[in-house]
Structure 1
């Protein structure tokens, strides 16, 4: 590659860009000649607290899904590496998280330089880890990006030029990773970014060749429908989900999840149909379903969606003679909250549990995960037991497992694995085996719910790989700070609870009763619930 003495920032000399970065680090001011994309990346890096002088490598095991993508494109990357044989460049493939999956460099000197900055497989190179760079910034911007010399946020990376090009799935458009070409900063030229783009295009072609005929048939019907439909459109197959821009713009995350869940019930029906379903937000979605066929077999279908504030009752029903939503209002005894995030999560938990799906409820400590589970349990199966197994408090593992087995064998009631993230590593495999056996042998003896709660702190790769995938659904509870609408009703309920409802006995008795069973406490002198109020503020 030809030598150059200027950075990619508008032909500005490399020394000027380096000085501009140092000025930014001292004062927060950025010289106008620095590219806008680099300015923004520097600002993000600073907000994230990235060290501009030293590198702090984040080593972790590669996710199985990332490795699977790499296996499907391995041959193309090998051929690309051959085309650069003898050149002082490296070809890198990184996951959507920025973690390096594959690394090839035939130049010993450059290889040593890359190893010195931990740019090797297993290390995360997202912006949040090392600041502005060809991998992390390309992922952040979702477009091909060149970062040269002093444009890097970290001083130790300023000796490199990095060109990153994101790789997207050819059918779904999902981000699969990024291709990066790295060389010495003074070796950079316009061909670096073009080469990264070319390799990404070759990888996408290779992935397209591996797409099944079933998926292509569904894609064809989805594209045909999307071209003639201005409203939301979604397509569902065995391993494929596609939503058009209207579905993403007009539906919030909770409504989208509910819509996909309800659509899945019809996605392999060979007969076209129209039905309606209630969404957590209160809107009504009217869906027109058209099946997709491949060699005479139904492989999924496409749904046109119409949104309405309410139903006039004239839309054809599902075969059961009702709208697909069988879940009542999200209001539950013992929990309060009216924000879309809270009511949506409540509705999803109820929907999954009424279908007896295994559910993983996630959120920050104190958002009310266990309180919500207990409230749903008591609302629907109050006469049955709810047993909580705290993964953070296991004195005798063998006995703990025995109790788990005994409860699963009962066939009814609710079982909760609380604090799943704190389950000891030695217990992960046996618990996973029990859950797999439960999934394979569970019968319809009675209402049976199996759930787990987990926070995002102290995540375990073993639990992520072996346990989390065994749950059929995951529901995220948002923290109270992001649900301002819930503050007033929560405060009001706490005040009412502290004052005590009339006819419920003395304050001392009410207080003792409420602490005994926060999910559904009943005072001895009153027949109605006196539950401790939650709006995502209870522990668990």
Structure 2
């Protein structure tokens, strides 16, 4: 018996012993294969059958598929002489495409459901060249008896992860499969090279979007002597006049405002008051690459005179909108233009007793703004929040309540009306009778995707004004005032403040949970340092991470563990890797993936 035969016999014997007695030694089995067998067994994978789930909701036109297609075609031509297939999956091991060198190998793979739409995660089919790559995090070559399930042992498969070149996160797997008798080490080398080519295509594809923004910016700058600014998702460009015209604070506020409007409007022509008090005119238009927004290019000019209509003025001596991020009257605070516009619209509606709709992301301060503006305008007032569950339970009763006369100025706020069922929304709208003859002041909050259904459109008739609260990631100019306000609420009569390093750290985080998440972060920091200057290490671990994509709960746990280890090691990567029990190269990859800043 040759070396290949001996190896097959040893693997078969080790697997049989493992399945029979759970033998954990597994002598002669590669470490990554042994670990995969243990995972497969613990997750209840059946060793004698392959029954992957079929998925219908696949993005077959994704950027990954588009960038991988030419590489797959080239790879298939290189190895067309033997029966083989090249497959691409997404980050969840769901097969997106498969290219066969001949119909025969395709029929063989169809029998084990290795086809478009099927889920080849390790916890579904055991050890294989797709799911095991996602578990292991690196390329693998699984041959014959190394597979956990019997029906797959006829095959050999080499798989390599495809990483997003910017985030470092695995976005898919490239797999080459054939009969085990046709397997060679060259398969592993080919698939790794091909996956790197896909990553290069992803990089170039992403850069094409940035190039489109740069091209438009260059053309506008060439024909204008004014200040020109271009803002994308990850890039900011400004010509010399723009840098000379605006100070750093105004540039930051303008950048945040442009990022806010570029997802909401095709063109912009408006007058803005920047944090320094300078009024500017901003004219610009978005730049698109296909259906994606690459960014926005704007021309900025300083207004020589303050516009006559600057919006409502906060009367001196009245309660300011401090809790919602507004400054004390007369204080020289920085505020984002989008936030100023929202405040002006809501306050004007409150003064006119007009029903107002406030749009924005959850936690962005929509209800806080409404309640604070109502208190500002009306003495002895109160704001009543009507949650989705309360309205769903009795929409007719809620509608009747909104029309009752009250002895004191009352603001009723229907929270998250976009989450109401069509039936509850229809009943509530009928009860409101489009807002006629209502004594209390009505307001509502919703996401920016509100106008989706006919019944939602009908309810809009109940409102006379609307405003959009920008998410916290687009309110960098408001962050210092917000932090001071929240610390005053969380720790009244205490000497607490943020160090400059901690404030910079908060400014670099994207705050998916908005102001609500910021308050939670400050509360956690105060638990560690009740008085004095809060330092960067006092803030929760997630604040030291700036990932370029949303994280799964398991990713957040891993990120927090890495940040904690780095903090305890005072930034020493070698010591942190030893504490975590991972290779230093793995630690560096995770730091890049999660955007860890320590």
**TM-score range, shorter-chain basis?**
0.3 to 0.5
TM-score, normalising length: structure 1: 0.48
Q: Select the structure of larger CA radius of gyration.
A: 2
**Structure with greater proportional helix content:** 2
TM-score, length of structure 2 as denominator length? 0.44
